[in-house]
Structure formats: structure tokens, C-alpha cells
Amino acid sequence: MQTDRHPVRRQKLLSRLKATAAPLLLVSTETNVSYLTGFTGDSSFLLLGPVECVLITDGRYATQIRQECPGLEFYVRPQSETIAAAAARVVQQTGRLKLSVEADNLTLSLAEKIATTVKGLELVSTSGVVEELRQIKDPDEVKEIRTAVRIAERGFQVLRAQLRGELSESQVATDLEFTLRNFGARGCSFPPIIAVGPRAALPHARPGSDLISADDFVLVDWGAEAASGYKSDLTRILLTGKLSPKLERVYRVVLKAQQAAIKAIRPGARCCDIDAVARKLIAEAGFSKHFTHGLGHGIGLDIHEGPRLNATCEVPLKPGMVVTVEPGIYIEGWGGVRIEDDVLVTRSGCEVLTSVPKDL
């Protein structure tokens, strides 16, 4: 991974902040701090301005910062000093009286403590400033997502080979995470969803005690977090018994909707329009009320990030964005079908990064 990309990212962010009333920004979102510095610890803020760049942390991370962020200035707060007091101290040293904060993350309590400590300080709320930069992945980021995809796919191959009827959903989920770690993952992108039969009607079902043999199919939603922190996200249906006409019909509808949506992905296409492609086909098949979530979302350092493929997001797709495409049909008492792949927006269209077969 390139070590010089973090200064480039900070410079891009500063260029955006230049036009604002408060170009000094306190970055408090853990993932955003990591994105801008390469630091992988927690409980730390980054103060970034035209001439300021200070990582505010505590004694646990002094050595780690020197290793991960060589040359980056940092302030280590003593145990007796809160993160709010430390941030106020560093802000006060800049002499600036306007401070942008991440309103979607910084708590009102912390913001008030900083403002109260620095006399005359004016706080300016910002939303999604760093997140907008993160939507466009550079070549190294795409490479890391590819790594996360490959690990996830290898893990799924093992899952299929070892799947037995006497295993419970929880046991399969545990075994899958162990396998992903053995293949080099930091862990799962999120707790895996292993849902047998009727439980697959819950889009975010938690693995329980139901046995794989309890029904004829199982939904598997999983992903791997690569060592770099970048993530993958996939969903497949595994047939474990007899293929019923209903499952075959529902599956074909979902697959057709997914394939059509992927085909529509290209630079300039709006997220809501891609969502509409899949939603229309599912509605025409008579399942409109059973598709209960957006078509997909961006992935990267977070498993859910921008852009969002849903009915309300009018953001145009751009080369470098990586999104999931995951239409689903969920029928209470029967089960659910979701098929999910990770897709890179390219200059001429898109590339499906995942390659797990989608036939039943």
C-alpha cells in the first residue's frame, strides 16, 4: 500500500475546506481518521487545517503512530486529560476561532465541552466531507477490496465443502470466520448471516440454533476484512434439499433483477435509477412489497458507506466507486432470497469483482 497517499488525501480535503467559512476541521470519525492518516488505532481525533495537522491520541498509541504515520505530528494526552480537553488545547494553540466538526459523529456533549473551553470559539457543522472523498477508490484501494473478495470467496468454498445437515447456523458462522482468518483476513466484514429456510425472510437474521437440515435452502451473507481494513460483501443461496417450484421462481426473479441492475451501472447513471431497474422487474413479477431495502451500498473501510443505491439517492456514479448490488425477496413464513455481488464502476461501465457461481 502506498505510504504517500494519506498526504494526498489530506490535501484534497483541504482544497474542499478552503471555500468554507471554517477551514480548520476536527475529524472525530474513527474510519475517517484512519483514511486520512493510516493510523489504525481508536479513541483519537485529527485536527486538520491550512497549516495544521495534528493527531490527538493517548499514551497507548505513541509508538504505533510513529510506526504507521512517520512524520505526522501528534499530541499525546495524559491520563488525567479527556479527549475533549485535549482537542480544545490543540485547537486553542492554533489561535483560530472557527472550527468545523463532523456533526454526524461528534456528540453534542463533546462539542459543547470544546466550545466552552476555547473562549470565543465558533463551531461549524459539516456532514460527509471526508465520506465524499472516500466514495472514489484509488487503484490501491480497489486492489485491497479485490483481496478482501478473494479471501471471502475462498472461505465460501470451504463452507460449501464442509456444510452438513447436523450443523447449526451459529456453528457454520463460527467456522466461516475461523476459515477467513486462516486465509489472512483480519476478521469478518460483519457478523455472517446464516439463515435457514423461513429465517431467510429476515434480511439481517442472526445465526441461531436452527440446523442446516431444517429446510431445503440456506442464505449465506458474508464478507472478509483484509489486513488493510478494506472489506467485501457477498450473498448466496445454497440448495440443501429439494428445489421447489416457488424457490426456483423467486430465485430467477431476483437473479434477473440483479443482472439487469449490474448491466445498467456506468459513470453518470444515478444511484436511484439503478435501484429502479431492479425494483421494476421485481414489481412486475408481483413481489414489490417483498423487496424491502435499497439495492446496494458502497463498500470500503466501512461495510456500509456512500454511495447508496436506493430510491432517494440521486448521486451519479463515478469511476472508482465500489458498490454492492443485492436485490432480495422476503416472504414471511417461507423464506427469502438475496443475491449480492461487489461491483466496481469503471470508465466505460462496470466490473463485477466477485466470481462465486450464482446457479442453484
Q: Is residue 161 located within the same domain as residue 88?
A: no
Give the total residue count for the chain. Answer: 360
Q: Is residue 231 located within the same domain as residue 189?
A: yes
pLDDT for 3? 57
Residues of the domain holding 149: 139-352
110, three cell numbers = 463533546
Residue type for position 293:
H
Last residue of a domain, one of 97, 114, 134: 134
Q: What is the pTM of this model?
A: 0.95
Q: Is residue 168 located within the same domain as residue 276?
A: yes
Question: Is 187 inside a domain boundary?
Answer: yes
Q: Is residue 196 located within the same domain as residue 182?
A: yes
Nearest to residue 153, comparing CAs of 236, 230, 251, 216?
Answer: 236
Q: Is residue 145 located within the same domain as residue 109?
A: no
pLDDT for 20? 82
Q: Is residue 166 located within the same domain as residue 240?
A: yes
pLDDT in tens, 251-279: 999 999 999 999 999 999 999 999 999 99
306, three cell numbers = 456512500
Cα distance between residue 114 and residue 45, in whole Å: 13
Question: Is 304 inside a domain boundary?
Answer: yes
Spatial neighbors of 116 by CB under 8 A, at least 6 apart, are: none
For 171-188, what is the mean pLDDT? 98
Q: In the chain, how many domains are there?
A: 2
Last residue of a domain, one of 79, 112, 134: 134
Last residue of a domain, one of 102, 134, 166: 134
Nearest to residue 159, comparing CAs of 224, 109, 114, 98?
Answer: 224
315, three cell numbers = 448521486
Q: Is residue 158 located within the same domain as residue 105?
A: no
Terminal-residue alpha carbon distance, the chain: 38
CA distances from 79 to 58, 83, 205 (A): 8, 10, 41
Question: Is 221 inside a domain boundary?
Answer: yes
User: Does residue 2 carry a pLDDT above 90?
Assistant: no
Q: Which residues pair with 238 in a beta bridge?
A: 218
Instruction: Give the helix ranges, DSSP H, for the chain.
Output: 5-18, 30-37, 62-68, 83-94, 108-117, 129-134, 139-162, 169-182, 245-264, 271-284
User: What percent of the chain has pLDDT above 90?
Assistant: 97
pLDDT for 38? 96
Q: What is the CATH number of the domain that holds 322?
A: 3.90.230.10
pLDDT in tens, 307-359: 999 999 999 999 999 999 999 999 999 999 999 999 999 999 999 999 999 99
